[in-house]
């Protein structure tokens, strides 16, 4: 994949595909007329086709490409240009490259477009739960093409199925390893290889290439910047990147989660007790008809070390349960459990009593526990942590308001506002008409672009 010869072959195939498509488009235009708007743009359209044809002569390292394929490429673009100058074109664009996705299963192939295979053995998460193991079906064909005997191919394939790598496979020659390189794994293709392949075929694609460039988990901001700059230099029209493990759950992985690997024992943490004389912060709150008091003891560095809460008379079930929870959380904090872990677990829990609060930043609470931990998050976590956990502090609300404004203006800051909504209608209608329930807090999510966002807790479904 990441070789000059591979890129030349891919460029030739793509050139032939698009050249034939435009030739047929010109033939259709001869009978049915060109596309609407062609005449005012005829000179520009002919110029684009001429550039496509000229790009065939710029394909490098053509020694690996069969001469009959190159000849067919040149002829297809000559025909497309000659016919188009006379009849025009029925299609303004003829080709794009789609990503692999799920359509590859229905097409009975491992990849589509110019994507390398994700991994020799993949585990795909299923919507209903469980995993589907997918083994690359092109490996036996490649081994046969490389001249390996049937018995050798069987042993090599069995080795790959078991270990998900070709390194160390019996009979397989070292010089053949690059043939089986994939997007991730022990012999992962460098991200520059993805970009170079896109740059090789882009001159022969009408539109853009929908392809994910896979980056390792260790990729830096500077490497991402270089990737975008290199793509621009190569004339790539669009690019998407994905850094491994950047999301809590990803649809494809190169290994099964069922594999259990022994991990070294975790060292025990000593308890860090609060000093006898400590600084405390408190808060009187109200949730529905219930009033309560939160008391948080602080270490010298200002981080919380214990928490107590009075919400009802001593001896009541509610007071006993809340006190038990607060003692457990306090001990955990003193043993080093991060506060954000507790906030992520207890914030947005829904049970009675619930209702309006007296907190200007937390207008409603789904339970007393929900209020306590959202208030703790607002008080002691950073703005980034608050946004990730759905804590709507004033700073986080300002961030989200800005992002909503960008999305609702078509994604460009500074664009004029949309046309005013006619009388009797509401601008929120389009946001709520297909709203789904938030998995975190149970609230209603609104559409933001192609995703959904909960305006109660800030959860976003994410896009890929």
79 band by pLDDT with thresholds 50, 70 and 90: very high
Q: What is the pLDDT of residue 422?
A: 47
Of 194, 227, 191, which is closest to residue 209 (Cα–Cα)?
Answer: 194
**Is residue 17's pLDDT more than 60?**
yes
5 band by pLDDT with thresholds 50, 70 and 90: very high
Give, to the nearest 10 degrees, the angle between helix 368-380 and helix 339-346: 150
Q: Give the H or E element holding residue 364.
A: strand 364-365
What value does the mean pLDDT take over residues 131-136? 70
What value does the mean pLDDT take over residues 242-246? 81
Residues in the chain: 464
The residues that bridge with 280 in the sheet, in sequence order, are: 297
What value does the mean pLDDT take over residues 247-272? 58
What value does the mean pLDDT take over residues 182-209? 89
Residue 228 DSSP symbol: H
**Is residue 461's pLDDT more than 80?**
no
Q: Which has the higher per-residue pLDDT, 49 or 410?
A: 49
Cβ–Cβ under 8 Å, residues 364 and 355: yes
Q: Give the H or E element holding residue 22.
A: helix 4-32
d(CA 17, CA 100): 18
Q: First-to-last CA distance in the chain? A: 24
Q: What is the pLDDT of residue 25?
A: 96
Cβ–Cβ under 8 Å, residues 171 and 158: no
Q: 364-385 pLDDT, tens per residue?
A: 888 899 899 988 888 888 888 8
| Region of poorest pLDDT, from 156-165, 257-266, 317-326, 373-382 | 257-266
Of 147, 190, 189, which is closest to residue 172 (Cα–Cα)?
Answer: 147
Q: Give the H or E element holding residue 242.
A: strand 240-243
**Is residue 50's pLDDT more than 90?**
yes
**Is residue 125's pLDDT more than 60?**
yes
Q: What is the pLDDT of residue 63?
A: 87
Cβ–Cβ under 8 Å, residues 89 and 34: yes
What value does the mean pLDDT take over residues 389-410? 64
**Is residue 268's pLDDT more than 80?**
no
User: How much is the mean pLDDT over the chain?
Assistant: 81
276: how many CB neighbours lie within 10 A of its CB? 5
d(CA 448, CA 444): 13
Q: What is the pLDDT of residue 310?
A: 87
> In the block, which residue shows the tokens 């595909």?
17
Q: Give the H or E element holding residue 324.
A: helix 317-334
What value does the mean pLDDT take over residues 139-158? 91
Cα within 13 Å of Cα(265), Cβ side? 3
| Region of poorest pLDDT, from 16-30, 110-124, 278-292, 307-321 | 110-124
Q: What are phi and psi of 72, to 5 degrees?
A: -65, -35
| Region of poorest pLDDT, from 60-69, 249-258, 279-288, 401-410 | 249-258
């Amino acid at each position: 994949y990441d070789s000059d010869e591979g890129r030349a072959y891919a460029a030739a195939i793509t050139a032939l595909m698009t050249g034939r498509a435009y030739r047929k488009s010109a033939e259709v235009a001869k009978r049915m007329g060109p596309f609407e708007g062609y005449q005012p743009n005829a000179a520009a359209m002919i110029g684009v086709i001429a550039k496509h044809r000229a790009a065939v002569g710029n394909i490098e390292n053509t020694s690996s490409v069969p001469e009959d394929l190159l000849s067919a490429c040149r002829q297809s673009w000559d025909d497309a240009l000659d016919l188009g100058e006379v009849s025009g074109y029925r299609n303004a664009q003829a080709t794009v490259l789609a990503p692999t996705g799920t359509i590859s299963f229905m097409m009975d192939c491992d990849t589509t477009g110019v994507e390398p295979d994700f991994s020799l053995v993949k585990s795909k998460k299923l919507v209903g739960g469980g995993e589907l193991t997918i083994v690359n079906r092109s490996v036996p064909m490649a081994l046969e093409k490389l001249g390996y005997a049937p018995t050798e191919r069987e042993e090599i394939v069995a080795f790959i199925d078991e270990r998900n790598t070709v390194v160390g496979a019996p009979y397989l020659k070292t010089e053949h390893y690059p043939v089986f390189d994939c997007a991730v794994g022990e012999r992962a293709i460098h991200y520059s290889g993805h970009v170079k392949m896109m740059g090789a075929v882009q001159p022969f694609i009408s539109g853009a290439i929908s392809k994910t460039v896979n980056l390792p988990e260790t990729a830096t901001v500077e490497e991402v910047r270089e990737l975008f700059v290199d793509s621009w230099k190569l004339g790539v029209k669009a690019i998407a990147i994905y850094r491994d493990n950047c999301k809590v759950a990803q649809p494809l992985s190169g290994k099964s989660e069922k594999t259990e690997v022994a991990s070294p024992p975790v060292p025990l943490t000593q308890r860090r007790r609060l000093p006898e004389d400590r600084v405390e912060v408190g808060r009187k709150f109200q949730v529905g008809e219930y009033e309560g008091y939160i008391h948080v003891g602080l270490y010298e560095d200002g981080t919380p070390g214990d928490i107590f809460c009075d919400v009802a008379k001593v001896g009541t079930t509610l007071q006993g349960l809340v006190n038990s929870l607060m003692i457990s959380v306090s001990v955990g904090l003193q043993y080093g459990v991060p506060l954000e872990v507790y906030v992520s677990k207890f914030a947005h829990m829904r049970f009675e009593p619930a209702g309006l609060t007296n907190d200007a930043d937390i207008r409603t609470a789904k339970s007393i526990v929900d209020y306590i931990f959202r208030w703790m998050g607002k008080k002691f976590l950073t703005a980034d942590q608050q946004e990730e956990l759905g804590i709507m502090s004033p700073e986080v609300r300002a961030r989200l308001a800005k992002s909503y404004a960008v999305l609702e203006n078509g994604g460009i800051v500074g664009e004029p506002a949309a046309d005013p909504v006619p009388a009797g209608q509401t601008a929120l209608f389009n946001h709520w008409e297909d709203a789904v329930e938030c998995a975190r807090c149970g609230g209603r999510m609104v559409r933001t672009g192609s995703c959904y966002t909960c305006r109660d807790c800030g959860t976003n479904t994410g896009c890929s």
